Amino acid sequence: MVFIETDGKTVEDAIEKACQEFNLPEERLNIEIISDGISGLFGFMGRRKVKIKASLKKVDGKEKLENAKKTLEEILARLKVDATVNAEDLGDKILLNINGDGSGLLIGRRGRTLDALQYIVDKIVNRSSGDRKWIIIDTEGYRERRTESLKNLALKLGEKVKRLGKPVYITPLNAHDRRVIHMTLQDDAQLITKSKGDGHLRKVVISAKKGL
């Protein structure tokens, strides 16, 4: 469990510091008082600072599901997008499906707009608990079509690497798309895949295994 220790002149001061560190309200935190600040005989020998330990409260799956749905709905409202959101708990994942006449506009070029929404909602929802759930945002079946397209791309480029013997670099992809590439080629004994770069988007390199 992730926790931090903070201090202050009073318990309230220490709790406020903890809330600022986590960027969360007090009701989202477990608070344990380590030191009440009293020292010496009956407190007559002066006072020390109050010290507390703060950790994230565990959020149940239903609450996280509702939080994810509400967060996305609020973002869409601010963007003036007339759409509804269906939320489904998939165990370690939460699927948010956007339905509406203009939902296709949310996909963006190569799904970049959808990916940006997914990244933002994921950061907001998963900051409130140590029990992380991967957020997936989809609309009009885009994710399934994208996955099939990436699988075909991986197989095509894999054959190119075998034929030419030179590594191939795929344009920067998000974590989900990179995983599709890796999983598609993981059982090919002649190829190896690696992710390169920093940040949310990274390139995937497909190369031939040495010695073959």
How many residues appear in the chain?
212
**Which pLDDT score is estimated for 52?**
83
> DSSP secondary structure string, 88-102?
EE-SSEEEEEEESTT
Structure tokens at 15: 């709790």
**Which pLDDT score is estimated for 176?**
82
Cβ within 8 Å of residue 196, ≥6 positions away:
169, 202, 203, 204, 205
The yes-or-no verdict on residue 85 having pLDDT over 90 is yes
> DSSP secondary structure string, 44-113?
TT-BPPEEEEEEEPP--HHHHHHHHHHHHHHHHHHTT---EEEEEE-SSEEEEEEESTTGGGGT-GGGHH
Strands 29-35 and 3-8, by their bridges, are: unpaired
Quick one: pLDDT band at residue 96, thresholds 50, 70, 90?
Answer: very high
**Which pLDDT score is estimated for 166?**
93
Quick one: pLDDT band at residue 70, thresholds 50, 70, 90?
Answer: very high
Distance CA 191, CA 204 (A): 13
98: nearest Cα among 132, 68, 131, 64: 68
Residue tagged 């409130």 (tokens): 128
Quick one: pLDDT band at residue 102, thresholds 50, 70, 90?
Answer: low
- How much is the average pLDDT of 46-69? 78
* CB 98 within 8 Å of CB 83: yes
**Which pLDDT score is estimated for 195?**
93
The yes-or-no verdict on residue 99 having pLDDT over 80 is yes
**Which pLDDT score is estimated for 2?**
67
Quick one: pLDDT band at residue 25, thresholds 50, 70, 90?
Answer: confident
Rg of the chain over all Cα atoms, to the nearest angstrom: 24
146-203 pLDDT, tens digit each: 999 999 999 999 999 999 999 999 988 888 889 999 999 999 999 999 998 887 788 9
Please give the domain boundaries of the chain with CATH numbers for all domains.
3-56 (no CATH), 61-140 (3.30.300.20), 145-208 (3.30.1370.50)
